[in-house]
Chains A and B, each alone.
Chain A
Amino acid sequence: MAATSLVGKGRAAISLILDEGTFEENRIGGTVLDAGLGPGAVVGSGRLNGRVVTVIANDAKLRNPRFPVVYAGIIGLEEAYKMAEAVYASIAADDGLPPEKKRPLVLIVDSPGNGPGKIEEIFGMNKATGAYQLALIEARQKGHPVVAMIIGRAISGAFLCHGLQADRILTLSKEYGTMIHVMPLSSIARITKRDIETLETLSKTNPVFASGADYFYKLGGVEEIIEDSANMREAISRHIDEVYAFNSAGRREENGPRGRGALGAKRGGRKKRQQVLALMEQEFALIEDEYL
């Protein structure tokens, strides 16, 4: 069966992932979010295998009427802050609960970038994406499992903003038209002044600059590739359970960005990082006492 692409279809993905009819937009615990704010950011609650989860996604069909560079799933100022509010609302909703009861956050990833405009720079798009990322990490620190599911575009700053802070990152396979990269190979060819054929040949042995899920898998940038969209529900649930288990065993650091660093060494695509960390730690160990 041919894979039906979910690119640009964040809402369809929500329906595929959540228990039927359970999604409540803009409602998280006791918080009701402003529906008019950042219309392209779709946030709310639902159930996954009966468990209450927060969902954060994008609707690529909506434009932001106030910020003209924000359309087609771009995460602008309003969108990023709304996503951050959704995270803080999730934290507030479970305040006082033990870590194993903190609701999971499911990030459905399909965004081509952050708002690339003049007003965005004047007011600080960097703050908006930073704010959302810090909120996600705080949620993880408190015990909320955060699982990202790439259904379409996970591109550069947008992927950093919405996806890369998750405990676990899953992606639909390339047959679904998923795109994971900083820049397409053609742009990298132009900027590095190398021809695209050379880059393609090189990327067969080194996944470090090429575009796509398979390369990110080798680098440890995504934990798992999902071959059939019908399996997203099961996979997300399974990773949520694993994150709870890691957290309760005091192994939170083994998930998230640094966990994926270690995974990159294990899978062979990112070996140097681990070597550098080990070498510098040995070096510091020799002088650490001077600073104690």
Chain B
Amino acid sequence: MKAWEELISSSFYEATARQRAHGLVDAGTFNELGGPNKRLKSPHLPELGEAVSFDDGVVTGVGRIGARPVFVISQEGRFIGGAVGEVGGAKTTAIFQMALRLHDKIAKKYPEDASLRAPAIIYSFETGGVRLHEANAGLLAHAEQMELIQECRGKVPVISLIGSKVGCFGGMGFVSISTDVVVMSELGRIGLTGPEVIEQEMGKKEFDSSDRALIYRTTGGKHKTIMRDCSFLVDDTIGAFRDQVKTLLNMPYEQLKKYRSIGSLKLVQEQLSLVALAAVLQPKDSTDVWAHFGNDNPEGIPDMELEEFCRKAKLRHREVE
């Protein structure tokens, strides 16, 4: 493992799951739980002759940011595309449950200032969703995570970090957007249906899954920022993601809540007015939507540097504040 100082200046996009886990929390504080020496391997992959890993493709543990305990879930895209199976799913469930229980103990011990002492969860996504080799167990694991995200609301802040090579697709596309806050880099991608499946459904003319620029315009960090699905767009370093998390964890929970895009009737109604816009606009490309929100030169947006984008880009107006 690189030294912590070196980790935080490293590319988030290129980093392994374990590097992200160590770098996101304070130096030397990451305690891996269910680590490689516990040998939590998939019992299903060997039956199919598929390579196994001692961590089943997800690094889980707890560290600190300042005084706060911070639980970390970090998916490894190099291992079977970061896909979720039975063991990795269980490790993730375990982290959510531990954070909830720790929260309750802290709330009891420090009733006065529980909210700034309470644990948080940071979830670094790099996944295509369900691992097909153990598809049924992977599917059921997704449902558990959704339930636990809702159970965490008002108690344990859950922050999604998306900026790794594989992106965040399939069922994890809705798991990530259901958390309190989504932080992305420009290189991050989030979606439900993967590009290949859209091409298969709509034809290559409508959606060419080999067109990288098109995929970024549809699912990338800048687009999701304009749509207000991503609340903070940061540089591609572990340190930049970490700094954003630190800022968020210094906010009272009440303030964090305003970054949600779903999770109440009002937010559903806000999304429905966006869907009504989709029906009228029938965009051929995300650039049509960017133009609608007042961006005069939508074609220029993909080439903008982060600083220029943050200064100039016009974002969707949010109805619920």
0/1 interface trace, chain B 199-225, chain A, CB 8 Å (1 if under): 001100011000000000011000100
A181 to B140, CA, bound (A): 11
Contact of B197 among A116, A124, A137, A216 (CB under 8 A): A116
What chain B residues lie within 8 Å of A130 (beta carbons)? 146, 174-175, 177-178, 262
Mark out the residues of chain B between 65 and 104 whose CB falls within 8 Å of any chain A CB in the assembled complex. 69, 86-87, 89-91, 93-95, 97-98, 102
A147 within 8 A of B: no
Contact of A257 among B38, B95, B143 (CB under 8 A): B143
A122 to B38, CA, bound (A): 41
Mark out the residues of chain B between 186 and 207 whose CB falls within 8 Å of any chain A CB in the assembled complex. 190-193, 197-198, 201-202, 206-207
Given A121-B198, A125-B193, A157-B171, residue A134 in contact with residue B136 (CB < 8 A): no
Given A117-B201, A123-B274, A123-B278, residue A279 in contact with residue B40 (CB < 8 A): yes
Of the stretches A5-13, A41-49, A186-194, A233-241, the one at the interface is A186-194
Of the stretches B6-14, B234-242, B281-289, B296-304, the one at the interface is B281-289
In the assembled complex, how far is the CB of residue B92 from the closest CB belonging to chain A, in whole angstroms? Answer: 10
Asked whether A164 lies within 8 Å of B190 as measured between CB atoms, the reply is: no
Asked whether A121 lies within 8 Å of B192 as measured between CB atoms, the reply is: yes
CB closest chain-A residue, reference B105: A292
Which of B48, B139, B173 has the most A CB atoms < 10 Å from its CB? B139
What chain B residues lie within 8 Å of A120 (beta carbons)? 192-193
Contact of A273 among B90, B174, B227 (CB under 8 A): B90
Which of B140, B206, B263 has the most A CB atoms < 10 Å from its CB? B140
A122 to B268, CA, bound (A): 17
Of the stretches B19-27, B126-134, B244-252, B307-315, the one at the interface is B126-134
A272 to B146, CA, bound (A): 20
A177 to B233, CA, bound (A): 47
What chain B residues lie within 8 Å of A191 (beta carbons)? 132
Asked whether B140 lies within 8 Å of A131 as measured between CB atoms, the reply is: no
Given A137-B150, A141-B150, residue A276 in contact with residue B90 (CB < 8 A): yes
Asked whether B272 lies within 8 Å of A81 as measured between CB atoms, the reply is: yes
B109 within 8 A of A: yes
A194 to B267, CA, bound (A): 44
Given A130-B174, A192-B50, A261-B144, residue A292 in contact with residue B278 (CB < 8 A): no
Q: Contact residue range for chain A?
A: 35 or more
Asked whether A127 lies within 8 Å of B34 as measured between CB atoms, the reply is: no
Tell me how many residues of B have a C-beta within 8 Å of chain A.
91
Asked whether A287 lies within 8 Å of B193 as measured between CB atoms, the reply is: no
Given A183-B132, A279-B40, residue A157 in contact with residue B170 (CB < 8 A): yes
A181 to B50, CA, bound (A): 21
What chain B residues lie within 8 Å of A56 (beta carbons)? none
Given A276-B34, A292-B109, residue A114 in contact with residue B192 (CB < 8 A): yes
Contact of B140 among A37, A133, A260, A288 (CB under 8 A): A260
Contact of A292 among B106, B134, B227, B279 (CB under 8 A): B106
Contact of B267 among A117, A131, A215, A274 (CB under 8 A): A131
Given A182-B136, A192-B133, residue A257 in contact with residue B109 (CB < 8 A): no
Asked whether B218 lies within 8 Å of A122 as measured between CB atoms, the reply is: yes
Cross-chain pairs A/B with CB under 8 angstroms, 22 sampled? A78-B275, A118-B198, A118-B206, A122-B289, A165-B146, A192-B50, A206-B44, A208-B135, A216-B136, A257-B140, A260-B143, A264-B140, A270-B140, A273-B90, A273-B93, A277-B90, A277-B94, A280-B34, A281-B98, A284-B98, A291-B102, A292-B109
Residues of B within 8 A of A (CB): 31, 33-34, 38, 40, 42-44, 47-50, 60, 62, 69, 86-87, 89-91, 93-95, 97-98, 102, 105-106, 109, 119, 130, 132-144, 146-151, 170-171, 173-178, 190-193, 197-198, 201-202, 206-207, 218-219, 223, 227, 229, 261-265, 267-269, 271-272, 274-275, 278-279, 282-283, 286, 289
Residues of A within 8 A of B (CB): 37, 66-67, 69, 77-78, 81, 84-85, 88, 92, 114-131, 133-135, 137-138, 141, 156-157, 159-160, 164-165, 181-183, 188, 191-192, 194, 202, 206-210, 215-216, 219-221, 256-258, 260-261, 264, 270, 272-274, 276-277, 279-281, 283-284, 287-288, 291-292
